[in-house]
Amino acid sequence: MTTDFTPPPSFSIPTERLHISYLQPGNPTHSTFLHHLWNTDEFIKSEGPTGLDTPEKAAKFIATRVQGDYNRNKHGQMLVSLKPHLGASLAESKMIGIVSLMKGEPPNAYTQPDVGYTILPEENGKGYATEAAIGVIDYARRELGVKGVFGFCSSGNARSRRVLEKIGLEFRGERKLTVFGGVQSAIYALPEMDQDLAVYGITD
């Protein structure tokens, strides 16, 4: 039986400029921020509408989908907060995005998670997505036993491809990924991962 994973609200993965922390069910600040982030024009243009068009829907999403990922894997979608100065605490920091390590439920899942990131439009271009992705991957490998990480994006998404390369993933070609409805995607993986992606459940 899966039990709830409930880290303390003060928990964070610190990086030089950021704190990475868990979204908290029942925290209206978190659900309001997620609603805002996923309804910016830039996000909708890139990812399409999520259906989380009210803070209440975002709150329900955090309590069910996000918490479910935490319960299974101890990772999933996590908050990215910007420190106002070196050494600032999580409480002092400003929420600016989401970084994720996502691994779905079998059979609709690969055996290793994929990394993702969304930063507020006004904070883009400052290296925060790269820093957050490196931070969450390092933590997951060190503390959660994650052995491999994928990165998926559309072939024409130059910004995402640059970030994936900066965090140390290597391009492994393009495939129509069944988990994403057969959409043609560029695939990135950690260099030490097997060259045969079928080992992880990725096939055409």
> What local confidence, expressed as pLDDT, does residue 178 receive?
82
Write out the two tokens for 191. Answer: 């260099």
- The helix/strand/coil state of 173 is strand
The angle subtended at Cα 35 by Cα 116 and Cα 130, nearest 5°, is 25
Distance CA 153, CA 116 (A): 9
Q: What is the CA radius of gyration of the chain?
A: 16
Q: What is the pLDDT along the chain (204 residues), one digit of tens a residue?
A: 457 898 888 999 999 999 999 999 999 999 999 999 999 999 998 888 899 999 999 999 999 999 999 999 999 999 999 999 999 999 999 999 999 999 987 777 899 999 999 999 999 999 999 999 999 999 999 999 999 999 999 888 888 899 999 999 999 999 998 887 888 899 999 999 999 999 999 986
3-class DSSP state of 98: strand
Q: What is the pLDDT of residue 49?
A: 87
pLDDT of residue 48: 84
Q: Which residues contact 85 (CB under 8 A, 6 or more apart)?
A: none
Predicted confidence at residue 2, as pLDDT, reads 59
Domains of the chain: 13-147 (3.40.630.30)
In terms of phi and psi (left: phi > 0; alpha: psi -120 to 50; beta: otherwise), the region of 178 is alpha
